Amino acid sequence: MKKVFDFLDDRTGYRKLLAHALDEPIKGGSRWLYVFGSVLLGMFVVQAVTGVALMTSYAPSETTAWASVHYIQFTQSGGWLVRGLHHFGAQAMVILLAAHMLQVAAFGAYRKPREVTWWLGLSLLGLVLGFALTGYLLPWDQKGYWATRVATNIAGTVPIVGAATQKLAQGGPEYGSLTLTRFYALHVGVLPALVVFLVTAHVALFRKHGVTPAAKADLSKVESFHPAQLAKDVFATVFVLGIVLVFAIREHGAPLDAPADPSSDYPARPEWYFLGLFQLLKYFHGPLEVVGTVGLPTVVGLYLFALPFLDRAPTTALRGRIKAVAPLGIIALGVTLLTVQAIRDDARDEAFKKQRDKATELATTANRLAMGGVPPAGPLVMMNQSWELKGPLLFDKHCAGCHTLRDHGVEKDRTAPKLDGWGTEAWALSMLKDPDADDRFGRTFYKGEMKPIEKDREVIAHFLASQEKGSPGEQMVKTRCTTCHTYGGEGDDSATGLAPELDGWGTQEWLKAQILNPATKKTYRENALDLDRKGHMPRFDDEMSPDDADRLARWILSLR
C-alpha cells in the first residue's frame, strides 16, 4: 500500500494538501462551538448525494412530478429513506446555519479583517433558504404548491420589480410546468453551483484569517486541527446525521400531500422556518402589507450586512459588544416568538384544524389510490375519476351549505336534513317516527307535511332501506304510503303532492337523480320544490356532470 500511496502522492501531491488541511493552527485550542461550519459542510454533502439519487427518478413536469415522487416514496427500493434524509437534512441545515450565525456573533468573528467572510456566510444563509423554497415545490403536492404560491405572491408585492419578479419565477402569469421547471433548474443547477463557489471562498478566507478565539481563551495554547478539532467535527457531523436518520426512519421518509390542485381550498402554510414571516404578515394589511413583506426584512438584512461596521468595541468580549449585537438577539427572539405564535394560532383555530384534517384524509386516499398507478394525463385525472377523492370535494362545494355529513358542513348553518346514515334502515325509521325532528325535516319547509307513522314502521323502514321486492314492507308502501308518495310512478301525482318517489329510495341511482334534478318525478315532483318557498333543494345538472353526481352519491352512501 505504501507504494500505491507514494505513486498517488508523486502524481497529485495529496500528502501536502492533506497536511495543509489538517495542520491548521487553532488559537486557544479546539472547542465544540467550532463544529458548526464542518457539520454544515457535511450536511451539504449529504444533501448533494441524496439529491442526485432523487434526480435519477424524478420527472419535473405538471403531470409527472407528483407521480414520480410517489414512486420514490412508496415503491422504489430505499427511496423513502433517501427522500427522508434529503427532507430532514434540509431542515437541519437551516437550524445549523442559525446556530452558526449566533456563534459567530457571540465570538465577534465578523469583525475586521473578517467582514467579507461574514458577508459570504450571510449569502450562504440566503442560498440555503432558497434551496428550501425551491425544493418544497418540487413534489408538486398541495403543501408545496400553495406554500410556494404564498411566497411568490409576497415577492410580487415588492415595489417596481415585484410583478416582473413574480412572473419570471412562475414562468408566466399562472403556475404550471414552466414554474416547476424553473424551480427545478434553480434547485439542482444554479443554487448548488453558487453554494460550491461561496463555500470555497468562505473556507479560503476562514483559513486565511484563522479561528476567532473566545475573548477569555488562553492564546498561548495552540492546537492543530488534527486530531482534537477534527474528532469533534466528525463526532458532531455523525451525531446530526444520526438525528436526521432517526426522523427519516420515524416518518418513513417524508410527507407527501395530495397532488397540487389549483381549484382546491387548501389551508396553505409555509414550512416551519418561514412561519415567523407568515405570522408577521398578519399584522400588516392593505397599503401596509409591503412593510411586512419588504420593509422589515430589508431592515434586518441591512443590519446584518452592516454589523461589522456597527461593532466598534475594543474587545471581542460579548459584554462589551452588547449594543452592536443586541438587535441580532432581538431578531432571533422575535422570529422565535412569531413562529410559536403562528403554531399556537393554528392549534386554536378549529376551522383550520378541520381543513387540515380533510387535507390529511385526502392525501392518505390519494397516496393509496396511486399505488394502483397514476394515469399518463396526471394525478388530477386520477383524483377526478375517483369517487373517494372527488366525493368530499363535491359535497363541500355543493351540499355543505345546507346539509351536514360527519365533519362536512356547519351545523348552525344547516337548513336541510343531516345525511349521516342516509338510506339506512335506522335513518328511515327515525324519519317515520318523527319527520319534524331537527335532524330530519325540522329546519325545512316540509316541516308539518308528513305525519309520524305509528304502526308497522319497522317493517316499512326495513323495506325502504333494502328495496326488497315482494316483501310485506313493499305491500304496505303500495297500500298505505301512496296517498302522499308515489311508488313506481303510481300513487299521488297531484299538483299538491310533496312526498318523493319511494321506489329505489336509498339507492345510488335515486340519490344521483336527486342531485342532478329533484323535479323529474324520479325523486320529487316540480311542485314539491316550489321556487316561491325558501329552502327547496336546487338542481345541480347545470353545475355537475352525471359522472360527478354519481361519484358524489357513491361517496355519501359509502359513509353509511
Exposed, middle or buried: residue 492 (CB in 10 Å: 0-12, 13-18, 19+)?
A: middle
For residue 224, the surrounding DSSP H or E stretch is strand 222-224
- Residue from 497, 506, 514, 440 nearest 473 by CA: 506
With H, G, I as helix, E, B as strand and everything else as coil, classify residue 176: coil
Together in a domain, 309 and 391: no
Together in a domain, 311 and 437: no
328's CB contacts (< 8 A; 6+ apart) are 102, 105, 303, 304, 307
Of 356, 372, 397, the last residue of a domain is 356
* H helical segments located in 438-501: 457-466, 472-476
Residue 2 lies in a domain: no
Neighbours of 515 (CB within 10 A): 24
Together in a domain, 92 and 146: yes
419's CB contacts (< 8 A; 6+ apart) are 399, 403, 404, 405, 556
Residue 86 lies in a domain: yes
Together in a domain, 341 and 416: no
The alpha carbon of residue 542 and the mean position of all alpha carbons in its chain are separated, in whole angstroms, by 33
For residue 246, the surrounding DSSP H or E stretch is helix 230-250
Residue 372 lies in a domain: no
d(CA 61, CA 541): 34
Rounded to the nearest 10 degrees, the angle between the axes of helix 350-370 and helix 322-348 is 80
Together in a domain, 212 and 274: yes
d(CA 376, CA 63): 7
Together in a domain, 337 and 435: no
Peptide bond into 113 cis (omega under 30): yes
d(CA 233, CA 43): 12
Residue 413 lies in a domain: yes
The answer to whether 120 touches 202, Cβ cutoff 8 Å, is yes
Together in a domain, 332 and 409: no
Whole-model pTM?
0.83
Together in a domain, 143 and 226: yes
Together in a domain, 110 and 208: yes
Of 305, 334, 356, the last residue of a domain is 356
User: What are φ and ψ of residue 60, in 5° steps?
Assistant: -80, 85
The answer to whether 270 touches 147, Cβ cutoff 8 Å, is yes
* H helical segments located in 56-114: 65-74, 79-107
Residue 332 lies in a domain: yes
Residue 7 lies in a domain: no
Residues of the domain holding 324? 22-356
d(CA 51, CA 412): 50
Together in a domain, 320 and 174: yes
Together in a domain, 280 and 232: yes
Together in a domain, 352 and 396: no
**Residue pLDDT tens, the chain, 560 long:** 889 988 888 888 888 887 777 777 888 888 888 999 999 999 999 999 999 999 999 999 999 999 999 999 999 999 999 999 999 999 999 999 999 999 999 999 999 999 999 999 999 999 999 999 999 899 999 999 999 988 888 888 888 888 898 899 888 888 889 999 999 999 999 999 999 999 999 999 998 888 888 877 777 787 888 888 899 999 999 999 999 999 999 999 999 999 999 888 889 888 898 899 889 988 988 888 889 888 999 999 999 999 999 998 888 888 889 999 999 999 999 999 999 999 999 999 998 998 899 899 899 999 999 999 999 999 999 998 999 989 998 999 999 999 999 989 999 999 999 999 999 999 999 999 999 999 999 998 889 989 999 899 999 999 999 999 999 999 999 999 998 899 998 886 664 567 899 999 999 999 999 999 988 889 988 766 664 455 578 899 999 999 999 999 999 999 99
- CATH number of the domain enclosing 162: 1.20.810.10
Please count the structural domains in the chain.
Answer: 2
d(CA 410, CA 532): 25
Q: Which residues of 84-117 are buried (b: 16+ CB within 10 A; e: fewer)?
A: bbbbbbbebbbebbbebbbbbbbbbbbbeebeeb
Residue 377 lies in a domain: no
Residue 235 lies in a domain: yes
300's CB contacts (< 8 A; 6+ apart) are 331
